[in-house]
Amino acid sequence: MRYSLSWLKEFIELSVPPERLAQRLTLGGLEVNRLEAADGDWLFEAEVTPNRADCLSHLGLARETAAVLGRTFRFPRWLSREFQLPRGEQAAPFPVTIEDTEGCRRYIGIVIEGVEARPSPPEMVKRLEKMGLRSINNIVDVTNLCLLELGQPLHAFDLDRLEGGQIRVRRAKAGEKLRLLDGNECALTADQLVIADAKKPVALAGVMGGLLTQITPNTRRVLLESAGFQPSLIRRGARIAKLSTDSSYRFERGVDPEMVLPAAVRAARWITRIAGGAVVSIADIGQAGMPSPTIPLRPKKAQEILGMKISAGQQRRFLQHIGCQVRASGRNWAVQPPSWRADLKIPEDLHEELARLFGYDRCVPSLPPLPRRPVQPDPLEDTSVEREMQLRRLLAAAGLQEIMGYSLLHPQDPAKVSMFGRGVVELKNPLSLEQAVLRNTLLVGALQAVARNFSWKTSEEFRLFEIGSVFGTSGEGPPPGYPIETRMLGLLVGGISAPSWGQPKQPLGIFHLKGILQLLRERLNFSLEEVPAPSGAPEPGILLKLSGKPVGRLGIVDPSVAAAFEIPEQISLAYAELDLEPYLAAGRFIPKTEPLPKVPPVQRDLAILISQEIPYEKISAAIREEGLPLLKSLELFDLYQGTQVPQGKKSLAIRLKFLDGDRTLTEAEIQAAHQKILDRLQKEFSGILRY
């Protein structure tokens, strides 16, 4: 809210410089974001937190100022006079009925006759403008100034426009309409509270008045409304109408129930002074404010929990400075907050008041000493954050750049990739179509990153990964459409490695990706199996399985998919996506080491010609099986198919390593093992030994 220093000074004597005042208010919890000199005055822009509705007026700021400066606030005498009922009203009160007594606690209607709506005096216009408001006419201006002065929203009706000579405070009926002061017609619902005359709604209660009953130059009789409404109902009413007004803003946060009558009286006196006329009747319907409940407070406990040495005497003074009644007897005090501090309900609320008036900065920082230091949860219980970080570091060390994409996508983006076929989760209230659905794959972000960097000529080589949550709807029940969230790892490798002198350009592809997965297996104890997707599957590629369960897939990005992201054809990309949940749930991996063999392994290279039709997986499986128990590892180190070998054949060069514990193997044993493997390859695949 914006405040004027000169206006503030009508309520409290002040000698502190404005900058100092701003700082005191800020450190007291009312953060002053801007302070500017304007026209012989100072304007403060302060952030009022939702719990401090009492500060949304100059009177409120004066009370807060007194408290943070360590003073007791007293109403200035002129204001007390303004709160006194004018004498001489004799007519019967205007008929007001509160039908929704929960929605409206109290309603005051003051009838003023013989007014003349004119432009306001220049000083009133100036003050309104300073506050960012436009002057309407003298009567409306008084209601607005009273709101900024006392925090009580008020409304003035042209009494002669009220049909049936009565006011009813009720819920709107479905189908009712109301044209508001801003000119818009509002279709009302039963969730909204309205002020109505005998026939129709004339104001959206606590939010905005109706156009039909507004004050005009022809207005002679005014009904001045001052009421107490239920905050949540006003909030709902304003939200349905898509409105937020100075009035609704205050009602939502709660206004001082004790200010309903004084504010009405002050406004009525002010109106009669500048618009003429006289108060002829006052209707006061509903309940006066209830006394605020008392809060128990133990000063010693407050000291302990705050870690601040605030003496009992200081505590009592602080509470009195904010207007509390304190009955201090022994260790248990009873504190009654003032009517304008409905936010104070429990002892902890009072602790905050004590702390902020003492000064948060005067609280000595401490690290909890051992007796009150909280113990950690079992560090092995949830290691998912640690495991993710470990995975990130490994992938970065392996040469991949981590990226982070948007979780919210355009609905067309998941459709472009359709990797998983999982249903897309949609937002009910998106900001725009660009961010209307939740990502169901990390591929979209990766492809967007490739497209961006290619178009900026940043790189022609891509090794990217992302770890993040993806979302999908479960295909089957129960219940169908239930959103499922999964931590995923996305890997994307492709393009052409940047050439360097002495090192040729090298295309990156699916085998680099498989190599990365191999690294994860070895380094993170992540036993992934690769299973070729069945022929006829919607997307060719390799399924990744963990203990037989599918956890992801690996494949080459279809050029048409890449093209949909405006990635040129010459960039070939391979992508893998992996459900991390089993990995994260597996807990910390603490490897157990094995003693090193005392003898080196015996190494034999095997070069064979074999039909191109036979996948490597089958060949290596056969070698492994046949090589038992001496064969410790095999490694493909060359693959050739071309003019140097017969058509339809490929040449494989495989390095075999044999070892048997700490024993030195004899030449005969190795020869036998080697031959056994050769025989098997010959028999099963018609493999021919090349050398």
Partner 1 sequence: MELDSFQEEALQALSGAKDSKALELLRVKYLGRKGALTERFAALKDPAQSPAEKSRLGQQLNEVKRRLEEALAERTVSLQTGPVPSRPKQDLTLPGHVPQAGRLHPLSQTLERILEIFQSLGFPAVQGPEVETEFNNFEALNIPAEHPSRENFDTFYLKTAVGTAPALLRSHTSPVQIRFMKSHPPPFQVVVPGRVYRPDAVDATHCFQFHQVEGLAVAPGLTFGDLKGVLASWAQGMFGSSARLRFRPHHFPFTEPSAEGDLACIFCSGSGCRVCGRKGWLEILGCGMVHPQVFKAVGYPAGTVGFAFGMGVERIAMLLHGVEDIRLFYENDLRFLRQFP
Judged by CB under 8 A, the chain residues 496 through 535 that form the site for partner 1 are: 497, 500-503
483 in contact with partner 1 (CB under 8 A)? yes
Q: Which is nearer to partner 1, 44 or 465 (CB)?
A: 465
Strand order from edge to edge, sheet including 31-38:
2-4, 41-47, 31-38
Nearest residue to 690 (alpha-carbon basis) of 607, 572, 625, 580:
607
Interface with partner 1 in residues 387-406 (CB under 8 A)? 389, 392-393, 395-406
Distance CA 295, CA 652 (A): 85
Considering only residues 456, 534, 644, 648, which one is a binding residue for partner 1 as defined by CB under 8 A?
456
For residue 123, count CB atoms less than 10 angstroms from its CB and return exposed for 0-12, middle for 13-18, buried for 19 or more.
exposed
Nearest residue to 470 (alpha-carbon basis) of 486, 456, 481:
486
For residue 523, count CB atoms less than 10 angstroms from its CB and return exposed for 0-12, middle for 13-18, buried for 19 or more.
middle
- In angstroms, what is the minimal distance from the CB of 366 to partner 1? 4
100 in contact with partner 1 (CB under 8 A)? no
Q: Which is nearer to partner 1, 497 or 620 (CB)?
A: 497
Considering only residues 6, 9, 18, 26, which one is a binding residue for partner 1 as defined by CB under 8 A?
26
Distance CA 157, CA 139 (A): 10
- Report which residue type is found at 454: F
Considering only residues 36, 37, 334, 482, which one is a binding residue for partner 1 as defined by CB under 8 A?
482
Backbone angles phi, psi at 627, to 5 degrees: -75, -10
Residues 101, 103, 107, 109: what is their CA dihedral angle, to the nearest 10 degrees?
-120
Considering only residues 236, 298, 632, 676, which one is a binding residue for partner 1 as defined by CB under 8 A?
236
Q: Which helix (H) or strand (E) holds 270?
A: helix 260-275
Contact 412, 451 (CB under 8 A): no
240 in contact with partner 1 (CB under 8 A)? no
Interface with partner 1 in residues 583-602 (CB under 8 A)? none
Q: Which is nearer to partner 1, 351 or 650 (CB)?
A: 351
Q: Which is nearer to partner 1, 368 or 548 (CB)?
A: 368
- In angstroms, what is the minimal distance from the CB of 485 to partner 1? 5
Interacting span for partner 1 (CB under 8 A) from 126-134, 151-159, 375-383, 547-555: 375-383
Considering only residues 122, 217, 375, 600, which one is a binding residue for partner 1 as defined by CB under 8 A?
375
122 in contact with partner 1 (CB under 8 A)? no
Interface with partner 1 in residues 289-348 (CB under 8 A)? 304-308, 346, 348
Q: Which is nearer to partner 1, 340 or 465 (CB)?
A: 465
* Tokens matching residue 658: 């044999």
- How many residues in the shown chain lie near partner 1 by CB under 8 A? 98
Q: Which is nearer to partner 1, 81 or 345 (CB)?
A: 345
- In angstroms, what is the minimal distance from the CB of 401 to partner 1? 5
* One character per residue 338-367, x = contact with partner 1 (rule: CB under 8 A): --------x-xx-xx--xx---xx-xxxxx
- In angstroms, what is the minimal distance from the CB of 367 to partner 1? 5
- In angstroms, what is the minimal distance from the CB of 531 to partner 1? 28
- In angstroms, what is the minimal distance from the CB of 161 to partner 1? 32
Q: What is the 3-state secondary structure (H, E, C) of 636-687?
A: EEEEECCCCCCCCEEEEEEEEEECECCECCCHHHHHHHHHHHHHHHHHHHCC
Q: Are strands 2-4 and 401-402 parallel, antiparallel or unpaired?
A: unpaired
Q: Which is nearer to partner 1, 94 or 471 (CB)?
A: 471
Q: Name the residue with tokens 């560090």.
A: 379
Distance CA 78, CA 88 (A): 21
Distance CA 271, CA 267 (A): 6
Q: Which is nearer to partner 1, 367 or 668 (CB)?
A: 367
- In angstroms, what is the minimal distance from the CB of 564 to partner 1? 18
Distance CA 465, CA 2 (A): 49
Q: Which is nearer to partner 1, 306 or 524 (CB)?
A: 306
448 in contact with partner 1 (CB under 8 A)? yes
